[in-house]
Amino acid sequence: MAASYQVSEATRVNRRHQKLWSVAYIPQNTRAVLVWHHGVGESNDRIKYKNFFDAFAKTGVAVHAQDAHGMGKSEPFDKADRIFVRKVDDLIDDAEDFATEMRSKYPATMPFYVGGVSMGGMITTLLTLRDQKPWSGMMLQSAAINVEKNFMQKVTEAIAGLLNLLMPRARIVPAVPPEYLSKDPQVRKETVDDPYTVIGNMRVATGLIFLDGFSRIAQKGSTLSLPIFAIHGTDDKVTSPKAVQQLLDGCAALMAKLRT
C-alpha cells in the first residue's frame, strides 16, 4: 500500500542574502530522506519532478529539493541575474546549508541520500566530495560530470577566462536544445512552456562554473567511497555517460552501478 504524504513549500535565505524556494514531500512514516538538486535553468516545481518526488514519497522516502539561486522560484529575479552563477562554491554552499537544515528535522539515525540531474548531479558529486560523512549514498541522473563538446563549445572553453572578465553575463555559451532533453514530445513541450524554465544559451560565468566543477571531479572523484547509483541514457548528446562510467570505475565505492 502506497504511503500517504504531505507537500509543503518554504523559503530560506542563503549566505548571500538571497531568498531560495524549496519543496518537501513528507511521508507519514519516513524511512529515508533524499535531498535532490535540479538541472541548470529549471525548477523543482516542474511536472516531471512532481511525479518523481511523488514516486519516492509513496514508498516512504521523504524528498527535500531547493531551487538554486537565480533559477526557478529562487531569487534573484532581476533579468540580468537569472541563471548567473559566479562561483560553483556558491551552489555547493547553498546545497550544504540546505541539507544541514533539513537534517536537523530528523532523528540522527535517519538515512540521508543526495541526488541530482545534469547540473544537479555535478553539485551532488561536489557536495559529497566536500564531506561524505553525512550521507548514506548518492544518486546521479544524467549527471554533468563532463559534457560531449561541439566545436563552438570547444572554442568558447578555450577563451572562457577572457570572456568571463569582459562579459560574464553574456549569454553566448551553447546550451541544450529542447529536442535533446527528451524523446517524449510532451516533456519537451512542458519544458518550453514552463515559465520557470529558461531555454537558450548560458551566461559566460555560469558556463565557467561547469568547467571548474568538471576539473574538481576529475581530480578528486577517486576518493568517493559512498554507494552510488547512476542512471544515464546512452543517446545523451549533452552530458557524458562515458564520463560517469569513468567516475564509477575510478572511485573507491564498494557499490557503484550505472544503469543505461
pLDDT tens digits, 131-170? 999 999 999 999 999 886 664 466 566 677 788 889 999 9
| pTM (global) more than 0.75 | yes
CATH number of the domain encompassing residue 175: 3.40.50.1820
Report residue 114: phi and psi, to 5°: -130, 140
Nearest CA among 49, 40, 218, 22 for reference residue 126: 218
Distance between CA atoms of residues 88 and 71, nearest Å: 14
Q: Is the pLDDT of residue 32 over 80?
A: yes
Give how many domains the chain has, as a whole number.
1
Beta bridge partners of 62: 33
> Which bin fits 142, alpha (ψ -120 to 50), beta or left (φ > 0)?
left
Mind listing the pLDDT tens digit for each residue in 191-238? 888 889 988 899 999 999 999 999 999 999 999 999 999 999 888 888
Contact indicator for 110, 30 with CB cutoff of 8 Å: yes
Nearest CA among 242, 221, 231, 230 for reference residue 126: 221
Q: Is residue 107 packed enough to be buried (19+ CB in 10 Å), middle (13-18) or exposed (0-12)?
A: exposed
Mind listing the pLDDT tens digit for each residue in 85-124? 999 999 999 999 999 999 999 999 999 999 999 999 999 9
Mind listing the pLDDT tens digit for each residue in 35-77? 999 999 999 999 999 999 999 999 999 999 999 999 999 999 9
Range of the domain at 239: 5-259
Q: Is the pLDDT of residue 249 over 90?
A: yes
What is the model's pLDDT at position 151? Answer: 45
Sheet with strand 61-66: strands edge to edge: 5-13, 19-27, 61-66, 32-37, 112-117, 137-141, 228-231, 256-259
Average pLDDT in the chain: 92
Distance between CA atoms of residues 179 and 187, nearest Å: 10
Q: Is the pLDDT of residue 260 over 80?
A: no
Nearest CA among 121, 164, 129 for reference residue 146: 121
